[in-house]
Amino acid sequence: MPSVVVVGAQWGDEGKGKITDYLAQKADMVVRHQGGSNAGHTVVVEGREFKLHLIPSGILYPDKICVIGNGVVIDPQVLIEELEYLQGRGVDTSHLRISSRAHVILPYHKMLDGLDEDQKGKDRIGTTRRGVGPAYMDKDARVGIRVVDLLDPEEFRVLLSRNLEQKNRLLRRVYDVDGFDEQQILETYLAYAERLRPFVVDGPSVINEAVARGANVLFEGAQGTLLDIDHGTYPYVTSSHPVAGGACIGAGVGPTKITEAIGVVKAYTSRVGDGPFPTELTDATGDWIRERGQEYGTTTGRPRRCGWLDACIVRYAALVSGLTGLAVTRLDTLGGLPKVKICVAYRLGEEIVRDFPASLKILERCEPVYEELEGWPAELPGVTGFSQLPAAARHYLRRLEELTGVEIDLLSIGRERGQTLVRREVFWGGRP
């Protein structure tokens, strides 16, 4: 039962889409297990760029079953637009499946997301305002509406009426804005329901059946470890679990079914949104990395904050997800710099701290302790294996392994699917 989880080992935007797409070559099923349309994956195949938000990266392979799991919150409008976008570019989407237990984002979720963010002022989280947080709030408050409810017109009508009574009162009395028209939402969303109905299945049954028959199942999430609601830089986090354990909850499989957890690590660090960022570069080097790496959000287009690689973060990600291997991306982005740095610890007053702190107040006071290493050339022509990398690049990667205690299995040296170096092809057969 070979099942692999791909985990973002930083703040997200590590290049999980490309790694998932690469690993999907040998997968039979790809499952998205958490998040919503507040995140995006960019995959480049033969010069064609595809931007995905809800649909698993494996959709670009016509023979892979792709499942949107119960842990995802789905904006039906965004999902239908994404289906039409892919179909319009010649991609077969008939192998998509949607878990009936996934929750639905409604118009009031998106409005409340924006209004709440505006009200926080300088204390804002940096949300994408896509309604993801409020949808998860309703899910935990046990007033959410699931896909299975959306497909039942009478049930949907009852649940929507109940929710709108409370949401409209909140919008008018607290935020002083008009509420929503029930009939308009009802008609719009029932039309969405019919468009999506052919794709809906019992997610846990379909996924566990694949695992039981020995299929190669690949689990992908959105965001990264430091945006996990429990393990991230709270409150500057998302509302779900991007860590490896989130795959079990968000797909409906037991932890004994997972055989590998691959952490995706960018060769530097980036993040979108607010919150402390110890290795952030606000100088010309940070700008250079941003432009060379095209560091702008797939979903929002927002410029990402960039900084040196932080081994404390990756070590923490390895701890909470039990990472069995690393996939390093964007090594090519750093090419051309005369020197590169890795943060190996933090200085907190007179103390050297090697563990990632839970307190943001402490994290804000942490100063990175750097090791400086030699850089490597801007271009890596003809490189098809690790041994062909410049010595300085190999040393940089070995140092990351030493600092985190996790070996590097994959290395990306470009945006194309084929610009991926394999060090250990052991994902589907267990480790030697």
d(CA 105, CA 111): 11
> What are the structure tokens assigned to 24, written together?
């999907």
In terms of Cβ atoms closer than 10 Å to its own Cβ (0-12, 13-18, 19+), residue 249 is: middle
Q: Which residue shows structure tokens 């049930």?
A: 155
Residues 33, 41, 103, 231: which is the catalytic one?
41
Which 3 state secondary structure label does DSSP give 409? strand
Q: Is 41 a catalytic residue?
A: yes
- Backbone φ and ψ of 328, nearest 5°: -95, 130
Alpha carbon 205 to its chain centroid, in Å, reads: 24
Say how many C-beta atoms besides its own lie within 10 A of residue 352's C-beta. 11
Alpha carbon 207 to its chain centroid, in Å, reads: 20
The one-letter amino acid code at 257 reads K
Question: Are the C-beta atoms of 171 and 178 separated by less than 8 Å?
Answer: yes
d(CA 258, CA 1): 8
Question: Are the C-beta atoms of 356 and 312 separated by less than 8 Å?
Answer: yes
Q: Is 13 a catalytic residue?
A: yes
Residues 13, 21, 28, 138: which is the catalytic one?
13
| Residues identified as active-site | 13, 41
